[in-house]
Amino acid sequence: MLAELQQKCGCVQCIQCNYVHCLCFVQEYLTKYYGFKEDIIPRTKSKTNGNVLEEKIQEMQQFFGLEVTGQLDSPTLVIMHTPRCGMPDLQHRSAVPWRSRWMKHHLTYRIYNYTPDMKREDVDYIFQKAFQVWSDVTPLKFRKIYAGEADIMIRFAFGAHGDSNPFDGRGGTIAHAFYPGPGIQGDAHFDEAEIWSKSS
């Protein structure tokens, strides 16, 4: 299947999964979540971009526990088209902030704004339960505040929203969060273009 996609941005319909996908989509996905860089290796070298692309597909398949084939098979494409977190699945140690852990055990969180898709009390309850999951298995304790700057600012936003990770509309990236630290670090952003509900 990879050979079928070698034509730049050529769209192909997968007979197995019925997805119409383009090489550009696959490259963008692997660039965003697995560090694929197009044309980083000159074509005169023994490793061509096709080999690098295949290696990145293998990394992705291994990460998700799929059969590692390096091919764009149906299970791989289903994962690629599933809405997900916007942060990379694999990061080099140099990309992770030094001491990327909370330096204290008592943390505050604030829901900066609410999605109109749900009742405020439902949003409050969901986040309270999510933080309780962490409190139950770590020494971290979370307290909600209603004004000012919290350690974890929770925000619903559309598209470009003040960080270097703009949302892409409905589907695709649904949220992202940042490693612990000051400022935007530790914050969690949710794509308002999604339809949020208690069951999603």
Question: Residue 124, annotated ligand binder?
Answer: no
117 is in an annotated binding site: yes
Band (2; pLDDT cuts 50, 70, 90):
very low
For residue 11, say whether it is annotated as part of any ligand binding site. no
125-137 average pLDDT score? 96
194 is in an annotated binding site: yes
* Side chain identity at residue 119, one-letter code: K
Please name the fold of domain 19-82: Muramoyl-pentapeptide Carboxypeptidase; domain 1 (1.10.101)
Answer whether residue 91 shows pLDDT above 80: no
In this predicted model, what pLDDT tens digit does every residue of 6-32 receive, in sequence order?
444 455 555 455 555 567 788 888 888
Q: Is 4 annotated as a binding residue?
A: no
Measure CA of the first residue to CA of the last residue in the chain; give whole Å: 33
Same fold across 19-82 and 106-191: no
Fold of 106-191: Collagenase (Catalytic Domain) (3.40.390)
Query: Would you say 136 is a known binding-site residue?
Result: no
Look at residue 192 in the predicted model and tell me its pLDDT.
96
Q: What integer is the mean pLDDT of 91-113?
A: 76
Is 176 annotated as contributing to ligand binding? yes
89 is an annotated ligand-binding site residue: no
85 assigned to a ligand binding site: yes
The beta strands (E) that lie in 27-160 are given as 84-85, 106-111, 141-144, 152-157
What percentage of the chain carries pLDDT values higher than 90? 35
What's the pLDDT score for residue 44? 43
- Is 151 assigned a ligand-binding role in the annotation? yes
How far is residue 173's CA from residue 193's CA, in Å, rounded to a whole number?
10
